[in-house]
Amino acid sequence: MIRAFTATAAALLASLASAPADASESPPRTGFEETNGARWTGESEEQEFLARVDRASARVSVARIGTTKQGRPLQLARIGSHLAPNRVLLVCSQHGDEPSGREACLTTIRDLAYATDRQTRRFLDRTTVFVVPTANPDGRAADTRGNSDGVDVNRDHLALQTAEARAMATVLRDQHPDVVYDLHEYTPTPKYYDKDLFDLWPRNLNTDETVHDEAETLSQEYVRPAAGRAGYTTGTYGIWTDPVTGDPIKQTAGDGQERILRNMSGVKHAVGLLIESRVDPLTDVDEAANNRRRVDSQLAALDGLFDFTDEHRAQVETATGTARHAGYADSGPIYLGGADNDPPEPSEVIQDPPCGYRLTDDQYTEVKDELALHGVRSWGGYVPLRQPLRALVPLLLDARAPYHLTSGEPVTDC
Residue 265: pLDDT above 70?
A: yes
Rounded to whole angstroms, the Cα distance separating 11 from 404 reads 51
Query: Cα–Cα distance between 322 and 325 in angstroms, integer?
Result: 5
With a cut of 70, say whether residue 10 has pLDDT above it.
Answer: no
Give the pLDDT band of residue 137 (cuts 50, 70, 90).
very high
Assign 82 a pLDDT band (cuts: 50, 70, 90): confident
How many Å apart are CA 384 and CA 394, to the nearest integer? 10
3-state secondary structure at position 85: coil
Contacts of 20 (CB under 8 A, 6+ apart): 55, 56, 57, 58
* Mean pLDDT within 318-346: 97
Residue 326 burial class via C-beta count within 10 angstroms: exposed 0-12, middle 13-18, buried 19 and up: middle
pLDDT band for position 18 (cuts 50, 70, 90): very low
Quick one: pLDDT band at residue 23, thresholds 50, 70, 90?
Answer: very low
Look at domain 2-322 and name its CATH class.
Answer: alpha beta
Q: What span, in angstroms and rounded, lies between the C-alpha atoms of 223 and 215?
A: 10
In whole angstroms, what is the distance from residue 379 CA to residue 386 CA? 12
Give the single-character DSSP code of 146. S
Instruction: Tell which residue, 296, 276, 68, has the closest CA to residue 182.
Output: 276
Q: Domain limits of the chain?
A: 2-322, 330-411
Phi, psi of 55 (to 5 degrees): -70, -35
Please give the average per-residue pLDDT across 139-158, as a whole number. Answer: 98
The answer to whether 278 touches 261, Cβ cutoff 8 Å, is no
Torsion region of 62: left, alpha or beta (phi above 0 gives left; psi -120 to 50 gives alpha): beta
The amino acid at 376: V
Mean per-residue pLDDT over the chain, rounded? 93
Angstrom distance (rounded) from CA 95 to CA 384: 34
Q: What is the pLDDT of residues 388-406, one digit of tens each?
A: 999 999 999 999 999 999 9
